[in-house]
Amino acid sequence: CLLQRGVQYPVRPCFACSAWSGFGELIQGAEWLQNFGKGNRRGTPPPPPPALSCPGAAFCLTAVYLETYGCQMNVNDTEIAWAILQKSGYLRTHRLEEADVILLVTCSIREKAEQAIWNRLRHLTALKSKRLRSQAPLRIGILGCMAERLKEEILHKEKLVDIVAGPDAYRDLPRLLAVAESGQQAANVLLSLDETYADVLPVQTSPDATSAFVSIMRGCDNMCSYCIVPFTRGRERSRPLASILQEVKMLSDQGVKEVTLLGQNVNSFRDTSEVQFRSAAAPGLSRGFSTIYRAKEGGLRFAHLLDQASRVDPEMRIRFTSPHPKDFPDEVLQLVQDRHNICKQLHLPAQSGSSRVLEAMRRGYTREAYLELVQRVRDSIPGVSLSSDFIAGFCGETEDDHQQTVSLLRQVRYNVGFLFAYSMRQKTRAYHRLQDDVPAEVKRRRLEELISVFREEASRANGAMVGRSQLVLVEGPSKRSAAELCGRNDGNIRVVFPDTEMEDGTGSGAVVRAQPGDYVLVKVTSASSQTLKGVLLRRTSLRESAAHR
């Protein structure tokens, strides 16, 4: 089956026993696959394996191509899905033309995101039809939120897809692929009340990356009227604390310098996996905030997790997203301020600046309560960088409502913003109870105005950093110039600077060049709404930088 890939002999490894035999000792299949990968990159195959003697089932090596759309949770889901497939004996390819299986990890949050998937499927169907008869049929799968939301349509629309797996069904991928191999369509979109993939260590899609995502909880209970997430991701459930800390420690040992804790409602984390955790006191909500559900008693909460995660490696930065503004008790804000390796950056999704619209969205707060939280955050964490989400043209939004959102953008002056026109989703409360009555052209105009105001205010906020030194985690070469490097500062703002020699930070007078994973000091010389530019000063560390604040 590998003749097409430049291997000059047939290869049929057995994953029933995960071993080759005949050398006088066992050669583990996983080890051979690793060597094959190295040999394949060099353009020459490793020594051929001996004849298979195991009586178990044997499978041809199947190459999987994974493509990710949407949020950071989908990036993490891709790593989880690949970890499961790799354990079942699949190969990973980053070249579409080499794939036997193509899996798209999809987003369903807006109509535009789904349309991108439909367009991609049409392209892949054309690729499927061009498959040589001598090759195994190309299998196409849809994973994630769109799979759960549109299972029937995906399976039956032009027969585009062979496999459909929802966010809680990744463990079932090997079985679904086996069914697809027999020529049948296969689907599993069941939502779970307890699946967190706690025992699955994700395999990073970029092994040399300086940062990584760690999923700590899944699902959402907030039921905002516009949001499809509770219907595609299910109810909130949190990973056991111990499994999260194990993954963070593993990433630290691998040299990762920044971890982002992930969840649809990350700061509502609540670990009840141990009996002794269930009597823990519940923290209060942010002042002026409410929920549609009763307070949940017991469990280790987000502040405890943040405290423990930040202790794993003092030289590893910790971020978290996406939070809900209601779940910011004082102890979380105090931790962010006190710990030098917890980034001084918070995401506070507002969605609208109008209390009337916020009520229709079922957000659980007013404009005034939100602004009070912003002030409390800035009082608790001086110099904090703020980001937010906004929706333009929600059901019933008037011009006055829109202008209130414009004024909120000006008043808060966010560093980073995510702004979108409203897209009604089936199953949501808005779909059943409200009218999508703002015309598309009005949505576009309002969105353009919000983006313009955001950029104007973000340029001012970022401009305040000109002349100051910023601690930057180097990510690698800039996309625009090989002579420049880029990274992100504590506030998660992109920083670009020349790739020049610098002091090594030891005081010895030696000079070095910055490498991905280094912490460096950069003096900012100019700023825009999205990027800072500066000059490289020297290499440093998180601890040293914190000591000189």
- Looking at residue 284, its pLDDT comes to 78
Those residues with Cβ within 8 angstroms of residue 472's Cβ, 6 or more apart along the chain or in another chain:
487, 488, 489, 495, 497, 519, 520, 521, 522
C-beta separation of 64 from 103 below 8 A: yes
Mean pLDDT by 10 residues, the chain (549 residues): 33 35 34 42 38 36 92 92 95 93 92 89 87 84 90 79 94 95 92 92 80 95 95 94 96 95 94 80 82 85 96 97 94 96 97 98 97 97 96 98 98 97 95 97 98 97 96 94 94 96 80 94 96 95 84
Q: How far apart are CA 532 and CA 544, in angstroms?
A: 22
C-beta separation of 259 from 250 below 8 A: no
In Å, how far from its chain's centre is CA 320? 10
Omega prior to 322 cis, within 30 of 0 = yes
DSSP 480-542: S-TTEEEEEETTS-EEEEE--EEE-SSSS--EEE--TT-EEEEEEEEE-SSEEEEEEEEEE-H
- Looking at residue 281, its pLDDT comes to 72
In Å, how far from its chain's centre is CA 333? 23
- Looking at residue 59, its pLDDT comes to 43
Those residues with Cβ within 8 angstroms of residue 537's Cβ, 6 or more apart along the chain or in another chain:
469, 502, 503, 520, 521, 522, 523
In angstroms, what is the C-alpha Rg of the chain?
A: 25
What tokens appear for 402 in the block? 């829109």
- Looking at residue 93, its pLDDT comes to 94
Point out which residues pair with 237 in neighbouring strands. Answer: 218
